[in-house]
Chain A
């Protein structure tokens, strides 16, 4: 095997790609107005940034989103009748419940920290170990998990069928009415609507004043110290797996290794996947403490320092940590109107 061969065979492609990335093939440029030119400039900037802006999806059926919202917040889908999806994923609070390990029925504790449901539609896989490929696949997991909602699909469908408002909504939105697949679809549709564009997205889209200088410096640092190697793309993460403890043994230092710590390995049983987790999205990270799959880091700064040590393998000054934190806070966005807890919005 020779790198020369890889290089030689790929230089043309790489050149073309570089051209594509820098936008030299864009058709819009030449006879465009000043505004269009400004837009082009912004779009060029977006293209070259490793983080991409997000927008609220426009192709979702509003009635299905609403149906999913109701299902998401309905506690009847648990064995004890007091746990809903929103028990652990509080959409108004960053999509999490703030607990190290969320509690399901009978106060049973989960093995890992709950991931945020916000912007989850942009993730390439769901759960820390990536065991679900789509939101539809994910949506059924907690419902039947004995430590979470401990329910059954038969019972859940029964609840839906007996509720006339649900039955009507399903009839309207799905030709085959109430089915497990349609319940999953409705919940996933609602979750896809939970998109929270932030100030940073505005900056990416060309609004230079959308973020402060410190936040911008934090972003530069984020790229230069190497966070960006994993936290990139539109969801600032969520599009790859990475080992926790690349430059240091996180688990040895933490101690008490449990099954959940094996991460992706639990799904693939591949030795390489041991301690690998789906890289979490950093959007709304300021609201999703505590951090990591084990929920052991209570503050953002703690989390940043831990990442610098075990992932980047480099020391960070307090100033750098501060700037990075500021940048990360600029990734917080607001939940679009009418997507919160329907019970809460009535009050």
Chain B
């Protein structure tokens, strides 16, 4: 919902920008140049048609045009052209009230012109007919007058024809008066005219009168058509149109200017938005850098602590120690994290102890448990160095189990305790890895299973450990290790117990430190993410001494059980 609202908020300005740009763009397109050209052409056409119409009417009056089709065509085309101007200027922006009234007035004047032309055509036809017939009628009448010997009447007839034709062609008030006088004179003679020519004379007089009457109708009509204000009206239309067009152009120009201004605003908006983004990005980067620094600091601190934890772990385990009548070598290679490997070699109250174990898991909790274990072992042995290994483990377990519970950690550990017997060999108990013993006499390696219980799970483990005795002859080697060695992998294959046993068999004759070196050097080609701990002990006493020690050891076992 929130995201939708944010999207809408982002879209809204975009939409507004688009709508405003669109509206302004349409505003700039309000002037259609094609239409403008068409209107101007139509106006020019009207002007031409008006001139043409006037020319044709004039030609018709003077007998140069013998049919009216061209006149009608000009009128008809003028009407369609005018309609097209009205149509073209109908669209908003193209016209104006000014133009509309100019077009209305043009329409009115055109209609009047058309009416005048219709009137002209009707009357002109009558005039033409009589004009044409007058001399013909006069000729026919004159023939008859000659037959009748009425020469004087003939003169009057000819005078009427001449005066009528002259007035028709040249016009003028004095010529009309002259014509009318001749006509009146002839009319006055009609009653006394010979009977045989009377009807012909009447016919002639009728046509002469028609010419006279029609001239006074046709010529004013002609004058009216020629002098009409159609041209002025067309000019009015053109001016009004040009004004409207000029206004439309100015409006379009205003829109264009507004569009440019709007573009600048948009551009500024974009620049500001980009600058803000850049600023925001810079802030972000600074923030990221700060956070990274803080994180690094925290990590460094953490790593420092880890390092310390690791240091504690490695510092707690001895790197060299001595065992009575034994050669001993040891090493611990902690993994990247704090591990849970543990071994210790200590002499308390004249008794030598060797311990090895492994806390489940890695990390600081495992390291802590290992430390607790080391402390507990030392504390217990300080109080009673002659404990049986099983008793030691049970006591250590009690302390560990309680502490692990307090920690709320799901931890446990393996631990094996070896007590050096005075007569050589070891008494031992506890569950850990197998014990590999290299027998110098045979050059073979024995595999002794360890037994017992894990520490840290059950509070009371008293009596749960079986004490065993390991006899070693001079030169025999006891190898203690953690699973970091046997579970190391090369090409996906673990080294395993067999691999390690073989290594011991190969290098068993060497000194303990050399054996440690060889094993570790072999391990370097293996991959492991676990701690690697190794303790190698080489017996320095002979077997004779062992037997004594064995007897004592059995006593101890009985006591523990």
| A151 in the interface (beta carbon within 8 A) | no
Whether the pair B68, A242 counts as a contact (CB closer than 8 A) is: no
Count CB-based A-B contacts (< 8 Å): 118
Closest B residue, CB atoms, query A272: B119
Whether the pair B219, A6 counts as a contact (CB closer than 8 A) is: yes
Whether the pair A226, B68 counts as a contact (CB closer than 8 A) is: no
How many residues does chain A have at the interface if contact means C-beta atoms less than 8 Å apart?
43
Closest B residue, CB atoms, query A311: B129
Which residues of B from 188 to 229 have beta carbons under 8 Å from A? 203, 206-207, 210, 219-220, 222-223, 226
Q: A6-B226, A240-B125 are in contact. Are A232 and B68 (CB under 8 A)?
A: yes
The 8 A-B residue pairs with the shortest CB-CB distance in the complex, in nearest-first order: A3-B171, A50-B66, A226-B129, A232-B67, A233-B69, A229-B125, A240-B121, A233-B67
Report whether over half of chain B's contact residues are helix, strand or loop; otherwise say mixed: helix
> Shortest Cβ distance from A88 into chain B, in angstroms?
26
Q: A6-B219, A239-B68 are in contact. Are A312 and B58 (CB under 8 A)?
A: no
- Please report the C-alpha to C-alpha distance between residue A45 and residue B357 in the assembled complex, in whole angstroms: 137
Which residues of A from 1 to 33 have beta carbons under 8 Å from B? 1-4, 6-7, 9-10, 13-14, 16-18, 21
Which residues of B from 106 to 133 have beta carbons under 8 Å from A? 118-119, 121-122, 125-126, 128-130, 132-133
Chain B neighbourhood of A246, CB < 8 A: 126, 129, 210
Q: A233-B68, A246-B129 are in contact. List 10 more A-B contacts (CB 8 A).
A: A3-B170, A48-B66, A49-B66, A229-B129, A232-B66, A232-B68, A239-B69, A242-B125, A247-B207, A247-B210
A residues with a Cβ closer than 8 A to B are 1-4, 6-7, 9-10, 13-14, 16-18, 21, 48-52, 124, 224-226, 228-230, 232-234, 239-243, 246-247, 272, 276, 311-315
Whether the pair B122, A226 counts as a contact (CB closer than 8 A) is: no
> Shortest Cβ distance from B59 into chain A, in angstroms?
4
| B324 in the interface (beta carbon within 8 A) | no
Among A124, A229, A230, find the residue whose CB has the most chain B CB atoms closer than 10 A.
Answer: A229
Whether the pair B203, A313 counts as a contact (CB closer than 8 A) is: yes
13 example contacts (A-B, Cβ-Cβ < 8 A) are as follows A1-B219, A3-B172, A7-B171, A17-B64, A18-B59, A21-B65, A48-B66, A124-B72, A226-B133, A229-B126, A232-B67, A241-B122, A247-B210
Among B125, B203, B222, find the residue whose CB has the most chain A CB atoms closer than 10 A.
Answer: B125
> Shortest Cβ distance from A266 into chain B, in angstroms?
15
Q: A226-B132, A247-B206 are in contact. Are A6 and B223 (CB under 8 A)?
A: yes
- Please report the C-alpha to C-alpha distance between residue A232 and residue B68 in the assembled complex, in whole angstroms: 7
Among B58, B119, B203, B223, find the residue whose CB has the most chain A CB atoms closer than 10 A.
Answer: B58
Q: Per a CB cutoff under 8 Å, which of B55, B170, B220 touches A1?
A: B220
Whether the pair B170, A124 counts as a contact (CB closer than 8 A) is: no
| B346 in the interface (beta carbon within 8 A) | no
| B281 in the interface (beta carbon within 8 A) | no
Whether the pair A2, B69 counts as a contact (CB closer than 8 A) is: no
Whether the pair A241, B121 counts as a contact (CB closer than 8 A) is: yes
Q: Per a CB cutoff under 8 Å, which of B64, B171, B172, B222 touches A14?
A: B64
Chain B 45-76 interface 0/1 with A at a Cβ cutoff of 8 Å (1 = within): 00000000011101100101111110110001
- Please report the C-alpha to C-alpha distance between residue A239 and residue B120 in the assembled complex, in whole angstroms: 13
- Please report the C-alpha to C-alpha distance between residue A233 and residue B66 in the assembled complex, in whole angstroms: 8
Whether the pair A17, B55 counts as a contact (CB closer than 8 A) is: yes
Whether the pair A234, B171 counts as a contact (CB closer than 8 A) is: no
Q: A239-B68, A241-B122, A243-B122 are in contact. Are A9 and B226 (CB under 8 A)?
A: yes
Whether the pair B55, A50 counts as a contact (CB closer than 8 A) is: no
Chain B neighbourhood of A48, CB < 8 A: 66
- Please report the C-alpha to C-alpha distance between residue A18 and residue B118 in the assembled complex, in whole angstroms: 23
Chain A neighbourhood of B222, CB < 8 A: 6
- Please report the C-alpha to C-alpha distance between residue A13 and residue B64 in the assembled complex, in whole angstroms: 11
Whether the pair A313, B130 counts as a contact (CB closer than 8 A) is: yes
Whether the pair A240, B68 counts as a contact (CB closer than 8 A) is: yes
Closest B residue, CB atoms, query A22: B64
Closest A residue, CB atoms, query B170: A3
| B137 in the interface (beta carbon within 8 A) | yes
Chain A neighbourhood of B219, CB < 8 A: 1, 3, 6
Chain A neighbourhood of B65, CB < 8 A: 17, 21
Chain B neighbourhood of A13, CB < 8 A: 54-55, 58-59
- Please report the C-alpha to C-alpha distance between residue A126 and residue B132 in the assembled complex, in whole angstroms: 30
Whether the pair B128, A2 counts as a contact (CB closer than 8 A) is: no
- Please report the C-alpha to C-alpha distance between residue A246 and residue B217 in the assembled complex, in whole angstroms: 14
- Please report the C-alpha to C-alpha distance between residue A225 and residue B137 in the assembled complex, in whole angstroms: 11
Chain B neighbourhood of A243, CB < 8 A: 122, 126
> Shortest Cβ distance from B312 into chain A, in angstroms?
97
Q: Per a CB cutoff under 8 Å, which of A1, A52, A224, A234 touches B223?
A: A1
Chain A neighbourhood of B55, CB < 8 A: 13-14, 16-17
- Please report the C-alpha to C-alpha distance between residue A234 and residue B68 in the assembled complex, in whole angstroms: 9
- Please report the C-alpha to C-alpha distance between residue A14 and residue B169 in the assembled complex, in whole angstroms: 14
Q: Per a CB cutoff under 8 Å, which of A2, A18, A239, A312 touches B172?
A: A2
Q: A241-B122, A312-B133 are in contact. Are A124 and B76 (CB under 8 A)?
A: yes
Q: Per a CB cutoff under 8 Å, which of B67, B129, B203, B220 touches A50?
A: B67
> Shortest Cβ distance from A296 into chain B, in angstroms?
22
- Please report the C-alpha to C-alpha distance between residue A50 and residue B125 in the assembled complex, in whole angstroms: 13
Chain B neighbourhood of A240, CB < 8 A: 68, 118, 121-122, 125
Chain A neighbourhood of B119, CB < 8 A: 272
Chain B neighbourhood of A228, CB < 8 A: 66
- Please report the C-alpha to C-alpha distance between residue A189 and residue B67 in the assembled complex, in whole angstroms: 26
> Shortest Cβ distance from B354 into chain A, in angstroms?
109
Q: A17-B64, A51-B67, A230-B125 are in contact. Are A313 and B118 (CB under 8 A)?
A: no
Chain A neighbourhood of B126, CB < 8 A: 229, 242-243, 246
- Please report the C-alpha to C-alpha distance between residue A313 and residue B206 in the assembled complex, in whole angstroms: 8
Among B67, B130, B219, find the residue whose CB has the most chain A CB atoms closer than 10 A.
Answer: B67
- Please report the C-alpha to C-alpha distance between residue A48 and residue B431 in the assembled complex, in whole angstroms: 140
Q: Per a CB cutoff under 8 Å, which of A230, A239, A312 touches B72?
A: A239
> Shortest Cβ distance from B138 into chain A, in angstroms?
12
